[in-house]
Structure 1
Amino acid sequence: MGFNEWLRTAMNKSDLYARIAGGEDSFTEFKRDVSQRSDFASEMIAFANMEGGSILIGVDDDGGIVGVAEPQRVEEAVVNIARHNCVPPLNPTIEPIQDDEGNTVIVVEVPRRMHAPHENNSGQCYIRVGSTKRLCTPQERARLLQAASPMHIDEIPIDRTSQADLDLDAFGVYYQRIYEQPLDEADVPLTPMLENMRFLVTDFRGESRLSLAGLVLFGQRSQDLLTHAYISAVRWEGMEAGEMIIDRQDMTGRLPQQIEQAEAFVLRNTRLSTKIEGARQEDRREYPRAAVREAVVNAVMHRDYGLDGAQILLYIFDDRLEIRSPGTLPNSVTLDNIRTHYSKPRNDTIARVLLNLGYVNRLGSGVPRMIRLMREHSGREPDFELGSAQFLVRLWSG
């Protein structure tokens, strides 16, 4: 159960015992007391900057309940720390719960931030990683700021670009598909049209630039300016990376071209079996073509383009296919709810274009469809794994 789901359940003694039995994790921290104000503030900040979490005061690191001697004083201390040691101030929910021995544990529930990332009075910004907190890197802090902004990262202006860097033929094909008329018959002039579509934006100097979405979707030289915006594919011999390479290819160009190249790479590096029953011949691929496309499209649509130097990795092994996408899960998606959760995409403009081009059936439906296709094909659902700056999708051979 994710933290947000847990918050919706009233806390009682049984819940407290279950929470302690689960140990410290991404959503839970044990504290014996609040004597170290700066440390306690950093714990709350770390939870707020990620998905939220709870701090159980009166519990040792090993899960032993020691309780607090003066619950009212502890609650007041937590409120003061949240107000005066966190910037902007936090507003946690505080609840005392007694165990069977009469010991009082103070449960501090820290909600996920709603706006800019939180920091301490020294300007330090923390995040929660597993069962520990750590300082943000400059790149992580930038992503937190971006996530707090109403502007999506795919709308940022790309330096050294202009409208002249747009591939008008590619954009014309897109326009024809959407509006069912040639681009040269459009009623709206090209420049304001591109601005309305968020493919052309203004930078802080007042210069007109291609947005990140405009560059990766319709740019003439995407990889010259965003060197990491491509897919690196390898067909390995055996079960692990590092063995002999059977085939490899870097998928470059515009995102639709990358998707098509990636799908072709998988088709030529995976098995096709033929089954004949009477006069009927049935071809069966090692992986459902539609599931592969869903995995690739989700990777290019949701990846974090702000992670410099990190490309999408597509690995094929003897028993599985893996796609590693830079970045964590977008918005409120977690590993707990990814199979059913529908959320606003990280790259809204890119997602909209891929939907209009037919690469996406319905925004938010990709993962559930991928799961269904793989279950029907091989009886085994995909694996989803989240690293510190990478999301992995694993499809098993069938």
Structure 2
Amino acid sequence: MKNLGTETETLEFKKTTGELKEGIISLSSMLNKNGHGVLYFGVKDSGDVGGQQLGDRTLREISQAIANFVKPQIIPSISSELIDGKNVIKVEVQGSDKPYSAYGRYYMRSADEDRELSPTELKKLMNQKTAADPITIMEAPAQDLSFTKLRISFVSSGLTVDQETFENNTGLKTSSGKYNLMAYLLADVNDISIKVVTFAGKDKTNIIKRNEYGGTCLVTSMDKVLDYMDSINETRVTMGNHKREEEKLFDAASFKEAWQNACLHTKWEKGNPPAVCVFSDRIEIISTGGLPADLTKDEFFKGISKPVNAKLQKIFGQLGYVEQTGHGVPLIISSYGRQAFDIMENFVNVAIPFNYQKGISEEILKGIKIILTQAEKAVIEEINNNPHITIRELVTATGYSDGYVRKILTQLKGKGVVQRQGGRKAGTWIVMNE
């Protein structure tokens, strides 16, 4: 006779569905203790398979009972299995929204028993809810995962990686030994979407461009977004009165803090990853989840940090992406004020305004601010170094094509930034207003 072993803190046996109420209590009890549990109907307390009679509605009735009597509601996995020629019913549950009640009461698993919680114990469990780390409890939607990119990040940061203990030491597995949601976020391949969307104006009416940086290790995706945003962070050059001033489109340090905090503090279990929206006048960084329940807005603005994902924060800290000083929010406030933050119940939106209107050139007059692209700046630098430089030499020095160099020179002439004096062979370039 087949024996399924002994009951544990995550495994319960019931002889038949005649013990449905007791079985549901065990499910809620296991959820409160470990966040998951398995219940068999048709198995004796000893683990011996006795069998369970199945009708047309048996599985549906179990599902309906769980939906009606377990709160908050969970979605169980219910299946029938044939063991030693006998039917049994297997019910699996998983959840992180503790505490769970069954028939209006709260229970906690202790060994193989379901013990009703006292008011004091229930209060303690409810307080622990705010400190829970759901992404380490929830199982990953896929279990065939690899972490080469994450390991490389550790090694690049000067950290020792033990191949045998790496996954356990970094908290990538649940208590049952399966990969958790955090592991999925940090895996080489996943289905997590990380987008930077650029719009034509000041609202979301017209999309110009959509960049996708997800589908891989979150650390890699974060870096790709930072690299892209750095590439569009153009410099405006002010020329006049023999002075030269440069101003970036936006403060890169503030964006970096806002973006990394969004990736860290997003409630990933909600299924909405953070995103970046680029408008004509600002950048918005959106994260899901709002503030932690026990963190006030005043505390938030002062830089007090209460991590939503504590183990993920530890990994980010080891890799040098975040600090424990909580200086990120005060840094953004120092540049853009508290109005940069829109704190909602389920979202936090950080708006970083541009220091000048992106992509619109002003009238080119002496003393009036103009915009130079990175390519234009590179050509000007070469001209400053050698006013007699030829187009062929500019192509070699900048790495741009002949046609592109000629186009840049035409643009610079049109902006009144450079002039050509003399003939093609003996002439020189002059940078104006510097």
- TM-score by structure 1 length? 0.52
1:260 shift after superposition: 1.9
1:258 shift after superposition: 1.8
CA distance in 1, matches of 2:275, 2:127: 24
Asked if residue 200 in structure 1 is aligned to residue 168 in structure 2, the reply is no
Other structure's SS at 1:165 match: coil
* Contact 1:232–1:250 (Cα < 8 Å) also in 2: yes
1:118 shift after superposition: 10
2:183 pairs, out of 206, 211, 214, with 214
**2:146 match:** 166
* Contact 1:331–1:344 (Cα < 8 Å) also in 2: no
Return closer, same or farther for 1:167/1:197 CA change in 2, 3 Å cut-off.
closer
Other structure's SS at 1:344 match: coil
* Contact 1:233–1:249 (Cα < 8 Å) also in 2: yes
1:245 shift after superposition: 1.9
1:345 shift after superposition: 0.3
Runs of 4+ deviating beyond 3 Å: 115-119, 144-147, 159-162, 190-193, 267-271, 275-283
Kindly provide the CA deviation profile for residues 216-235 of structure 1, in whole angstroms up to 9, marking residues without a partner as x.
12x12221xxxxx3322211
Other structure's SS at 1:202 match: coil
Larger radius of gyration: 2
Amino acid at match of 1:170: L
Amino acid at match of 2:266: R
1:381 shift after superposition: 4.7
CA distance in 2, matches of 1:236, 1:196: 42
Q: How many residues align?
A: 241
Amino acid at match of 1:198: G
Kindly provide the CA deviation profile for residues 33-83 of structure 1, in whole angstroms up to 9, marking residues without a partner as x.
xxxxxxxxxxxxxxxxxxxxxxxxxxxxxxxxxxxxxxxxxxxxxxxxxxx
CA distance in 2, matches of 1:275, 1:346: 43
2:255 pairs, out of 281, 284, 292, with 292
* Contact 1:178–1:356 (Cα < 8 Å) also in 2: no
**1:240 match:** 203
1:70-219 equivalences under 5 Å are 148=129, 151-159=132-140, 161-162=142-143, 165-175=145-155, 177-179=157-159, 181=160, 183=161, 186=162, 190-203=163-176, 208-217=177-186, 219=187
Return closer, same or farther for 1:251/1:348 CA change in 2, 3 Å cut-off.
same
Kindly provide the CA deviation profile for residues 81-117 of structure 1, in whole angstroms up to 9, marking residues without a partner as x.
xxxxxx9xxxxxxxxxxxxxxxxxxxxxxxxxxx966
* Contact 1:157–1:202 (Cα < 8 Å) also in 2: no
* Contact 2:301–2:330 (Cα < 8 Å) also in 1: yes
1:300 shift after superposition: 0.4
Amino acid at match of 2:224: Q
CA distance in 1, matches of 2:226, 2:149: 23
1:389 pairs, out of 343, 346, 353, with 346
CA distance in 2, matches of 1:388, 1:117: 21
1:269 shift after superposition: 4.1
- TM-score by structure 2 length? 0.48
Other structure's SS at 1:201 match: coil
CA distance in 2, matches of 1:195, 1:166: 13
CA distance in 1, matches of 2:174, 2:127: 16
CA RMSD of aligned residues (A): 3.5
CA distance in 2, matches of 1:158, 1:231: 21
* Contact 1:302–1:330 (Cα < 8 Å) also in 2: no
Amino acid at match of 1:396: P
CA distance in 2, matches of 1:319, 1:305: 29
Return closer, same or farther for 1:361/1:280 CA change in 2, 3 Å cut-off.
farther
Asked if residue 315 in structure 1 is aligned to residue 296 in structure 2, the reply is no
1:382 shift after superposition: 4.6
Asked if residue 358 in structure 1 is aligned to residue 320 in structure 2, the reply is yes
1:168 shift after superposition: 2.7
Give the gaps of 5 or more residues in structure 2: 1-70, 72-96, 106-124, 356-434
Amino acid at match of 1:345: P
* Contact 1:239–1:317 (Cα < 8 Å) also in 2: yes
Provide the identity percentage: 19
Kindly provide the CA deviation profile for residues 131-170 of structure 1, in whole angstroms up to 9, marking residues without a partner as x.
xxxxxxxxxxxxx9796175412312434644x6122353
